[in-house]
Chains A and B, each alone.
Chain A
């Protein structure tokens, strides 16, 4: 198992290097170059010259790249040209919100998706089955931001059941220690603050969770259908095991293996979806910051956020691979 993990870690190195080269090249290929990117569009030529000198942009490219990697290793991704604050600070402040949203979306997608997929497979050919198949096809076909708008319009604007923007009601005077608002509320025992933050997660979380939900339903259904026809299930049934035991020990356990990887691999989709969903709900996480950065041509922030998110994504995939190795011994051999 240790060798498997080490091998996976070694495979990470070229990917991370490639990523850094790509993003380094990206910032330099931008119109105006990195100085313009960091100083904004109103920078004068003197400002740019000074910046180039200070940050060593007049030096050879390889030296520049070395410095870029060096700074990145110290988690220094420059300053946002819009707010003037360090990109890392901005990220750390906003990332907890996105994590909370992602967790909510995933809990929703798994909690609804697995039972629904299982039910669809067991009632193969029934109306439950066809409805969930059609639903899962639709779920992937709807543009996420449109769905987010519909949810917001219906449940926040028209019905007023749930809050439609932000992470917490501004009237609530909550103490923030970790920037995970729900967690903060629980830790400080400010129950209504936690409850309010949780309510703010519902609509964006459902919007964000729809695509993973659709995929989980499909994979669970396909995987249960396959397992049900396996020899060992027939054997288990033939030797007279109780239906419940067969279901729990033989069907669900084996069917969930492929589902578990899919779940992990949804992170990329969620990060992409978060940009759109958070913008609709003005959520104030990493996603809305990215959308703001695009609108304001805040390149330093874009570069830093994309690099950090790509690393998060790569590491998440690594963890999935490792957990899959733990769950299924066959994977380790390959």
Chain B
């Protein structure tokens, strides 16, 4: 693992540069296929994939899996100051402070939490990639301007950036997604730029140029697809960060105010008030966040190793 160059920028650039290296013992197998073959043998990757797929399935099939309506205040009459009913028949994890079935809320919550993670990462990756392609394809002053802009975004610590944006856009789930997306932009921009720069002088790009292929086709048809693997790795890792960051923003009161949509971050922060007598209400959503984040991280890290030509055997 040479991800140890330390400096964040340099690390991203190094990762990008490595995507351009030609593997020494290709053996006629494509990089993607050999990566996939190694992934299937890697227990860490399998564990990560299983976690991710499991949660995705739960999110998709939430209405069928949840035993109850997540909004129904079934046991509200039994909730008192300092007491919230625990697990019992029909309520396997008990109820929350408003008498709603905790398990059903967790199951439905996976939809909202995963959606925030996925959409904000897709947005951030798309914007970052657009900037990265611009910088990597044109080079010169375009590169300088784009990268200075990225440096400016990078100069505000992530959470502070997200806070400023959600304060600006008001409190709704879209503001939350955009806020998290913006914090992801710099990484993707730098990554794709570096990786495209590494590809630009590769033999096939030069060959395509010599054959008279239009520059736009070289960039979009040849260089870009070959520069994508570090982006995919980063996107997987960013999903974990996005979900955790959404929880943090929720905690600071900048989350989605719509109580009709249960969400793990909001559940976790709402539970702080009852932590002293019913900590489970905080622990369950926290566990969900931790396990999902861990799943994406494991998957991302093993993807990184699988796609790295250095690790190719």
Binding site for B on A (CB under 8 A): 14-15, 18-19, 22-23, 26, 29-31, 137-138, 140-146, 149, 153, 157, 219, 222-223, 225-226, 257-262, 265, 267-269, 271-273, 275-276, 279, 290-291, 294-295, 297, 299, 302, 306, 309-310, 313-314, 317, 320-321, 324
Task: Answer whether residue B92 sits at the interface, using C-beta atoms and an 8 A cutoff.
Answer: no
* Closest CB in chain A relative to B149 CB, distance in Å: 7
Task: Answer whether residue B29 sits at the interface, using C-beta atoms and an 8 A cutoff.
Answer: no
Which residues of chain A are within 8 angstroms of B159 by Cβ–Cβ distance? 271-273, 275-276
Cβ contact of A290, chosen from B149, B163, B247, B272, cutoff 8 A? B163
On whether the beta carbons of B6 and A265 are closer than 8 Å, the reply is yes
On whether the beta carbons of B168 and A30 are closer than 8 Å, the reply is yes
Cβ contact of B298, chosen from A137, A142, A145, cutoff 8 A? A137
Which residues of chain A are within 8 angstroms of B252 by Cβ–Cβ distance? 275-276, 279, 291, 294
Cβ contact of B157, chosen from A226, A259, A313, cutoff 8 A? A313
Binding site for A on B (CB under 8 A): 1-8, 148-149, 151-152, 155-160, 163-164, 167-168, 170, 240, 244, 247-248, 251-254, 265, 268-269, 272, 275-276, 279, 282, 286, 289-291, 293-294, 297-298, 301
CA distance A234 to B155 in the complex (A): 41
18 pairs, A vs B, C-beta closer than 8 Å: A15-B151, A23-B164, A137-B301, A141-B297, A143-B248, A143-B251, A143-B289, A143-B290, A149-B272, A149-B282, A258-B4, A262-B7, A267-B157, A271-B160, A279-B252, A290-B163, A313-B155, A320-B7
CA distance A219 to B82 in the complex (A): 45
Cβ contact of A138, chosen from B5, B170, B290, cutoff 8 A? B290
On whether the beta carbons of A141 and B293 are closer than 8 Å, the reply is yes
Cβ contact of B279, chosen from A15, A153, A275, A302, cutoff 8 A? A153
Which residues of chain B are within 8 angstroms of A157 by Cβ–Cβ distance? 276
On whether the beta carbons of A144 and B248 are closer than 8 Å, the reply is yes
5 other contacts beyond A18-B152, A272-B157, A306-B164, with CB at 8 A cut-off? A26-B168, A142-B286, A272-B160, A294-B253, A294-B254
CA distance A317 to B157 in the complex (A): 12
Which residues of chain B are within 8 angstroms of A299 by Cβ–Cβ distance? 167
